Amino acid sequence: CMDVSIPDKFGKIQFIVEDCKDPLKITLQYDSSLIEENIQIVVHSTNYDNHINTFFFPGFIDTHIHASQYPNCGILGNDSTLLDWLNKYTFPTEAALSHLPYAEKVYDKVVSRTLANGTTTATYFTTIDLEASKIMAKTCVMHGQRALIGKVCMDSNSPDYYIETCKESVSSLVEFVDYIENELCEPLIQPIVTPRFAPSCSRNLMEKIGNLAKDKSLHIQTHLSENFNEINWVKELFPECESYTDVYNKYGLLNHRTILAHSIHLTAEEIDLIKLKQSGIAHCPISNTSLTSGECPIKQMYTDGIEKIGLGTDVSAGYSCSILESAKAAFSVSRHLAIKKENQDAKLSVNECLYLATMGGAKVLDMEKQIGSFEIGKSFDCQEIDLRSPTSTIDIFEWQVPTLSGTKPKITQLNKLEAFDINDVISKWFFNADDRNVVKVWVNGHNVKN
């Protein structure tokens, strides 16, 4: 066995031993054949009765978040839908970040709040502003978060006060990539090519930045098929393309490093194209509900053969920067689909939602060999959960967890409690916890939150 205490600094996970009582690795089985992998928790401490006090869980992965929109969390108007929300709330908010001292404050806040909620890796959109985007990269380094950071590219159909020319967009992207790769030189931070969405980009811009992504093997992120007005607009703007997805394909942006946010209203042909190109999907359920964009059929996507699906908070169309909140929303949205379609197969289980929040995200980022679960050789990206947080609503103290001690279940006076097992503990955590229960966070073995 090995030391239970987690030192401040160690790059690779080595502490997992299956038969070791403390720490004890527990593998959670999915109750679905669609997702084959398991997720694990590692029990860190128990009380005298062998009830779980604290456990380690893989750090959450946010595959789609607009750092620049953080000031707008919770403000989106009662009747906003995507396109009017962008004009009324989002573009003015993003434009304001060209004032660098303000950008510094906003970015510092969003990185510390996501870390506090257990997000160890995030895929960010910033704004079109190069200098502010550099500040975001520095902020992630300072806090120790693993991040893909995208300076937003947009040269079309955008307000006068928030638009670039194609040339400006490409040159500031090139400079941003160069800054991260050659000046910042921090292996945890990668640049990501970020055409906002098809309506904000000319064909020329998409082709140019697609080529840059290809030459430098960079990831690409954008939005896809979020809202019907948006889809119709894309049809008008790109009549030469067979579908919204085909726009990205035709102009060189669709490949195995592409992250497509939303992707709610896809046709069978679009699904096939995404499968063929092995692109990933960032499911953003809070945002999709808040802007009444739609209910993304995640279980159906798995059935259709799309394997790379993760979760995105989509701050600030999503009101919360917590991936745990997004995971709960994914659970709820899948149940609404099940009700509407009268099909129980649409439902995501708690463990499946936690998979999306961790390994699913790692696959979307093509980082499943590095992060997303506890495996020897992977980086130690981890959150320590304490179920006892005095101010939280979790009250798990009196529970018997028969599988934990490795010995026979203790007989308790309250017979019904004997039925609880590790999945119930996880479920209790999933539905009742918040950042108060995240007591420590590590990224790449470094303790980044105490």
Q: Which residues in this chain contact Fe ion in the complex, by CB under 5 A?
A: 261, 314
Of 82-90, 106-114, 425-433, 441-449, the segment contacting ligand GUN by CB under 6 A is 82-90
Q: Is residue 287 at the binding interface for ligand GUN, with CB under 6 A as the rule? A: yes
Q: What strand order describes the sheet that includes 438-443?
A: 24-28, 39-46, 52-58, 382-386, 438-443, 446-449
| CA–CA gap between residue 24 and residue 76 (Å, rounded) | 44
Beta strands 446-449 and 24-28 are unpaired
Residue 86 binding ligand GUN, by CB under 6 A: yes
Of residues 314 and 368, the one with the C-beta less far from ligand GUN: 314
Q: Whose Cβ is closer to ligand GUN: residue 115's or residue 286's? A: 286
Q: Which does 196 bind (CB under 5 to 8 A by kind): Fe ion, ligand GUN, none?
A: ligand GUN
Answer yes or no whether residue 226 interacts with ligand GUN by CB under 6 A: yes
Q: Which does 226 bind (CB under 5 to 8 A by kind): ligand GUN, Fe ion, none?
A: ligand GUN
Q: Residue 264: left if φ>0, alpha if ψ -120 to 50, beta else—which one?
A: alpha
421-449 per-residue burial string, b: 16 or more CB within 10 A, e: under 16: bbbebbbbbbeebbbebbbbbbbbbbbbb
Residues forming a β-bridge with 66: 125
The residues near 46 (Cβ < 8 Å, ≥ 6 apart) are: 22, 52, 53, 404
Helix or strand run (H / E) with residue 300: helix 298-303
- Contact between 155 and ligand GUN by CB under 6 A: the answer reads no
Which candidate, 268, 263, 276, places its Cα nearest to that of 231? 263
Near ligand GUN by CB under 6 A: residue from 314, 325, 352, 381: 314
Q: Where are the beta strands (DSSP E) in 22-59?
A: 24-28, 39-46, 52-58
Nearer to ligand GUN among residue 76 and residue 337 (C-beta): 76
Contact partner, 86, from Fe ion, ligand GUN, none, Cβ < 5-8 Å per class? ligand GUN
Closer CB to ligand GUN, 226 or 384, in the complex: 226
CA-nearest of 264, 261, 272, 164 to 219 is 261
Pick 223 or 308: Cβ nearer ligand GUN: 223
Return the one option of ligand GUN, Fe ion, none that residue 197 interacts with (CB less than 5 to 8 A, by type). Answer: ligand GUN
Q: Give the residue with the Cβ less far from ligand GUN, 317 or 401.
A: 317
Question: Of 230 and 435, which has the nearer Cβ to ligand GUN?
Answer: 230
Query: Cα angle vertex 114, ends 421, 180, to 5°?
Result: 130
Task: Tell me how many residues contact ligand GUN (CB under 6 A).
Answer: 11
CA 281 – CA 258 distance, rounded (Å)? 8
Could you tell me the smallest distance in angstroms from the CB atom of residue 207 to ligand GUN? 19
Residues that bind ligand GUN (CB under 6 A): 66, 82, 86, 90, 196-197, 223, 226, 287, 314, 317
